[in-house]
Structures are given as structure tokens and as C-alpha cells.
A = this chain, B = another copy of it.
Amino acid sequence: MRYELYYWPGIQGRGEFVRLALEEAGADYTDVARGRRGMAAMRRLMDGTGTAQIPFAPPFLKAGRQVIGQTANILLFLGARHRLAPRAEAGRLWTHQLQLTIADAVAEAHDVHHPIASSLYYADQKREARRRADDFRRNRAPKYLGYFESVLAANAARGGWLVGGRLTYADLSLFQLVAGLRYALPRAMARLERKVPRVVAVHDRVAARPRIAAYLASGRRLPFGEDGIFRHYPELDG
């Protein structure tokens, strides 16, 4: 089956977490909104035309007639289908729990540059962004990455992955979180990474997976940039 991924064209954004899973799985998919008339198709689904399962926001995935929204939910679906999560319920839930925590970190990384409103420009909330960035660098980013470091240290399988002895979609997402934070806050991350070597190792091992390496080198991987979730404003980097 050919999946249809719907996400804003031109940015990695939350769509990237889904792309990484599709790429690692070697799944057949179209990134619909990047193609001709793709945006119109995306808007129709968001308006509830052709589906009663209206997505609140992109990304969403069309799998046959099913329309699945919310990044973590899409990964829950793909994880079960493409062996990117354990088969047993306990492992499946644990993987999902980690994904939801990554999603929380991603939302906070976004709010660093948009603490007041997504509908306003960064320039209209620069002062507030500086305050929020201070807290994010000092408290929140260390807390999140330190948490994943603890999870990796506590994994009895000792394979270097978050869940058991195999790669899951949570590892792919942790790669993207690290990559995004490196782009957004290079100075803060240079300091922080020394304290989370296991997290950095997950990043590096994901980047070296043959399918992921091929993807990252391809035109399908969009660059980070100042319209995405992770943004590099030097004044927010301490």
C-alpha cells in the first residue's frame, strides 16, 4: 500500500517524525502537499471533505481509506505495521510513552521562539522569547535529555536503544530532537551533550542506518530553517 503523508510543504516540522519512520521502514509514500494541487487536497481533508475523522492539524497520514492524525498516533500505527515497536502491549505502550515525552519536548522547543502566539511573528514576541529560552536552556532541555539518558542507562538490553534491544520509532524521534536542538541552540547543546553521551550515541547510530543515511543525503530531507519548529535565533542561545 502506498501511504499519503500530508504536511505543510517546505519545512521539516512535525511531519519529519513521520518521514523518518516511513524512510526507516522502506515504506512507499507520497509527500502529498509537496506536489501539484497537494495543498488543496490537504485542505479538503482538514475541512472534513471525504472523511469523518477530521484531522485538527497536519501531519496526517492516509492509509487506504483511513485518515490518521497526531504525530505520535501516526507512529503508533506505523510502529505496529513496520516493526518499529515491540509487538507485546507493554513494550508498545512504553515506546509510545517515550514518543509522547519527545512530543512534549518538541512543543516546548517550538514555544521557545513563540511563547505568546503561533499566530504572531517572532519579532512580535522577541522579549518574551528571550525569557522562555533562558528557562528552556537552563532547565527544560537538560531535564528532557537527562531523562532520556536515564532511560537508556536503565535499559537492561544494553543495545544502546531506548526500548529493548532493537531500534524503535522513539529512537528515530530522539535523533530528530537532538538534530533540531543542535540546529536551534548550538552553543547550549555543545555544553549539554557532554552530559548525555547515550543520547548522542542514539543520534549517531540512527544517522548511520543505511536507509536513514540515504534519506538524509537526499532531496527528500528538507533543511532546517526559520519557518520550522526548531529555529536558530542566536540571541536565544545564551
Min C-beta distance of A98 to chain B, whole Å:
9
Q: B117 to A93, Cβ gap below 8 A?
A: no
Pick the contact of A56 from B96, B120, B147 — CB < 8 Å? B147
CA A125 to CA B135, docked complex, whole Å: 13
> Which of A61-110 touch B at CB < 8 Å?
66, 68-70, 72-73, 76-77, 89-90, 93-94, 96-97, 100-101, 104, 107
| A101 surroundings in chain B (CB, below 8 A) | 56, 69-70
Interface of A is mostly: helix
Pick the contact of A139 from B104, B119, B132, B144 — CB < 8 Å? B119
| A89 surroundings in chain B (CB, below 8 A) | 77
Report A99-141 CB contacts with B as 1/0, cut-off 8 Å: 0110010010001000111011000010010011001000100
Q: B154 to A135, Cβ gap below 8 A?
A: no
| A10 surroundings in chain B (CB, below 8 A) | none
Residue of B nearest to A77 (CB): B93
Listed stretches A26-34, A46-54, A219-227; interface member: A46-54
Q: A135 to B119, Cβ gap below 8 A?
A: yes
- Sorted from nearest, which 6 A-B pairs have the closest CB atoms? A117-B135, A70-B100, A52-B154, A56-B101, A70-B97, A73-B97
Binding site for B on A (CB under 8 A): 48, 52-56, 66, 68-70, 72-73, 76-77, 89-90, 93-94, 96-97, 100-101, 104, 107, 111, 115-117, 119-120, 125, 128, 131-132, 135, 139, 144, 147, 150-151, 154-156
